[in-house]
Chains A and B, each alone.
Chain A
Amino acid sequence: MELSRFVTIGQYVPRESPVHRLDPRTKIAAVTSFMVVIFVVRDFVGYGLLTLFLLGMIALARIPLGFVLRGLRPIIFLLLLTVVLNIFFSGIDGGTVVFRLWRLTATREGIVRALFIAYRLILLVGVTSLLTFTTSPVELTDGIERLLRPFRRIGVPAHELAMMMTIALRFIPTLLEETEKIMKAQMARGAVFDRGGALRRARALIPVLVPLFVSAFRRADELALAMEARCYRGGEKRTRMKELRFARRDAAALVLTVVASVIFAIPFTVWQRLAP
């Protein structure tokens, strides 16, 4: 039993790679830009180019493709639901009927749109997991804090938000590990988690949840104490050990991103018209 096997979303994969070395702000900006492009693109050519670009980035970051695909596992159900709903309820009137099921009709246009939307979800997960795979939680929140700093004037507690995110991210693996350990300890005492109806399964979780909550509160308490012992008092006049530096490679990466985004976003038909 290894819970962290199933939750690859949000995990950091430490590697030496050009993508890892980028400034987190660059990566956040690039991912945001690609997320917009994913919603703008409307043709197969655009999606093909996006896919190729994403695969290239994954290879450049030296992340195994299987590890990225594993991150899709939790959303398989969502994907299937999206496809089914879009095929039958796309709201496209007319169109070529492919098949009928009871009172529902599936049109060619509906199926195409459903596949588009599903693929959009896959790309979204791919792009965002590339960000978390290549950026450590600390770097990520540092980046977010810097990007939020201008909004402090209108009352956004940038540092506090970033610190809360860092702590939350930091404790995901710890709590997963803890859950696994408690589940094993209760299994050793004969607990069964995978048998019986919904009610019985829910009740079987009590011996796991109670110790988990107790230990989460204990950890929170200890962490607060440790932070206070080191004189933590929020973001005022705090200096950093690692300053974020915007390097030349970041500029290059941003230019590449913007150019690629524009190229991908312009429909293929427009390119054809431009061609002599």
Chain B
Amino acid sequence: MTPFIETEGLSHVYLRGTPMETTAVRDVTLRIQEGEFIALIGPTGSGKSTLVQHFNALLKPTTGRVRVGGRDLSDPKTDLHAIRHEVGLLFQYAEYQLFEETVDRDVAFGPRNMGLPEAEVRDRVRQALEAVGLDPVVFGPRSPFTLSGGEMRRVATAGVLAMTPRVLVLDEPAAGLDPRGRTDILGEIRSLHARGGITVVLITHSMEEAAALAARVVVMDEGRIVMDGPTREIFARADELHAIGLGVPAVTALARDLRDRGIRVRTDVLTFEEARGTIREALGWS
């Protein structure tokens, strides 16, 4: 099966030819299949955000290639607007991009830019708001600037969802939200993926989020991809993750601690339920 998004030897240098030149992404080759749920993790400044901005041609590679759905993004004949309709990108702190007078009109910005008929736009706005857990009747006519931070983040998320992209790239969608806001927004992303077969790339600093949601984890450090594999295998390599300033989910760390103290539990656990199961088993309680 050919991958939907494919990068080949992708490098990106910011401010090339100036004294502030910095290489953000180095020689990244990555294949993303349709329907995958990938967590992209890495320390701050490891190039995650820069990398994903190549997926919808907001950035052009300094060297290397990007293909989306078989189309080469550096080919001048490729319609980049069509690519942006297929690959939705939600930036970090997306609540600061809202600008319209009402929530409805802000969410409609994307679909309108796609040139959809008005009835379809209205349908999509309603569906997108429902998908992020906001009642379209209550929130639709309000000004986005009267909402709370968490609600604004949801409106921004709806703004991307309303374009019904095939790939959803989320740059720390839960950063800075309260625990309730986090669970809500992540639950919505999970159910979107489960329902619609949408491909998700989730950038996160939370190992718990990565473990709970993603089937595959890609780890970046200093612009390179240093690990790429099934979630369970990646989080089994705790020492390597610690070495670059990352970690493992709390339950995985707990299991490793117990094992170190001689309790024979499995150490590849990722969720609370798995941890409970193996601990009960080790203690002979099951």
Chain A contact residues, CB within 8 Å of chain B: 1-2, 4-5, 8, 13, 15, 63-64, 66-67, 70, 181-182, 184-192, 206-208, 210-211, 214-215
Given contacts A2-B14, A188-B56, A214-B96, is CB(A207)–CB(B19) below 8 Å? no
Instruction: Give the shortest distance, in Å, between B12 (CB) and chain A (any CB).
Output: 11
Contacts of A191 in B (CB 8 A): 109, 113
Given contacts A182-B96, A190-B84, A206-B99, is CB(A4)–CB(B59) below 8 Å? no
Contacts of A181 in B (CB 8 A): 91
Interface string of B8-43 (1 = CB under 8 A from A): 000000110111100000000000000000000000
Interface string of B94-131 (1 = CB under 8 A from A): 10111100000000011001100000000000000000
Given contacts A188-B91, A189-B109, is CB(A215)–CB(B96) below 8 Å? yes
Contacts of A2 in B (CB 8 A): 14-15
B81, closest chain A residue (CB): A190
Instruction: Give the shortest distance, in Å, between B56 (CB) and chain A (any CB).
Output: 6
Given contacts A185-B91, A188-B88, A189-B110, is CB(A211)–CB(B56) below 8 Å? no
Asked if A210 and B99 make an inter-chain contact with CB atoms under 8 angstroms apart, the answer reads yes
Task: Give CA–CA (A128, B279) in the complex, Å.
Answer: 70
How many residues of B are in contact with the other chain, CB < 8 A? 30
Contacts of B160 in A (CB 8 A): 188-189
Task: Give CA–CA (A70, B159) in the complex, Å.
Answer: 38
Asked if A190 and B98 make an inter-chain contact with CB atoms under 8 angstroms apart, the answer reads no
Asked if A188 and B84 make an inter-chain contact with CB atoms under 8 angstroms apart, the answer reads yes
Contacts of A189 in B (CB 8 A): 84, 109-110, 113, 159-160, 163
Task: Give CA–CA (A15, B18) in the complex, Å.
Answer: 13
Contacts of A186 in B (CB 8 A): 97, 109
Name the residue among A66, A182, A190, A191 with the largest chain B CB count within 10 angstroms.
Answer: A190
At the interface, is chain A mostly helix, strand, loop or mixed? helix
Asked if A4 and B58 make an inter-chain contact with CB atoms under 8 angstroms apart, the answer reads no
Task: Give CA–CA (A4, B85) in the complex, Å.
Answer: 28
Extra A-B contacts (10), CB below 8 Å, given A67-B19, A211-B98: A2-B14, A5-B15, A8-B18, A66-B17, A182-B96, A188-B88, A188-B89, A190-B113, A190-B114, A191-B113
CB of B145 closer than 8 Å to a CB of A = yes
Contacts of B109 in A (CB 8 A): 186, 189-191, 207
A187, closest chain B residue (CB): B58
Chain B contact residues, CB within 8 Å of chain A: 14-15, 17-20, 53, 56, 58-59, 81, 84-85, 88-91, 94, 96-99, 109-110, 113-114, 145, 159-160, 163
A-B contact pairs, 15 of them (CB 8 A): A2-B14, A66-B17, A184-B53, A185-B91, A185-B94, A186-B97, A188-B88, A188-B89, A189-B84, A189-B109, A189-B159, A207-B99, A208-B99, A210-B99, A211-B99
Contacts of B84 in A (CB 8 A): 187-190
Contacts of B94 in A (CB 8 A): 185
Asked if A182 and B97 make an inter-chain contact with CB atoms under 8 angstroms apart, the answer reads yes
B82, closest chain A residue (CB): A190
Contacts of B53 in A (CB 8 A): 184
Task: Give CA–CA (A208, B145) in the complex, Å.
Answer: 15
Asked if A192 and B113 make an inter-chain contact with CB atoms under 8 angstroms apart, the answer reads yes
B88, closest chain A residue (CB): A188
Option from B14, B90, B145 in Cβ contact (under 8 Å) with A214: B145
Instruction: Give the shortest distance, in Å, between A134 (CB) and chain B (any CB).
Output: 12
A213, closest chain B residue (CB): B99
Task: Give CA–CA (A67, B114) in the complex, Å.
Answer: 40
A215, closest chain B residue (CB): B96
Contacts of A211 in B (CB 8 A): 96-99
Contacts of B85 in A (CB 8 A): 190
Contacts of B114 in A (CB 8 A): 190
Given contacts A188-B56, A211-B97, is CB(A64)–CB(B19) below 8 Å? yes
Contacts of A70 in B (CB 8 A): 18
A180, closest chain B residue (CB): B58
Instruction: Give the shortest distance, in Å, between B223 (CB) and chain A (any CB).
Output: 17
Asked if A188 and B58 make an inter-chain contact with CB atoms under 8 angstroms apart, the answer reads yes
Contacts of A187 in B (CB 8 A): 58, 84
Contacts of A63 in B (CB 8 A): 19
Contacts of B56 in A (CB 8 A): 188
Instruction: Give the shortest distance, in Å, between A52 (CB) and chain B (any CB).
Output: 23
Contacts of B163 in A (CB 8 A): 189-190
Asked if B96 and A184 make an inter-chain contact with CB atoms under 8 angstroms apart, the answer reads no
Asked if B81 and A185 make an inter-chain contact with CB atoms under 8 angstroms apart, the answer reads no
Task: Give CA–CA (A189, B114) in the complex, Å.
Answer: 9
Task: Give CA–CA (A15, B59) in the complex, Å.
Answer: 29
Task: Give CA–CA (A8, B18) in the complex, Å.
Answer: 9
Contacts of A8 in B (CB 8 A): 18
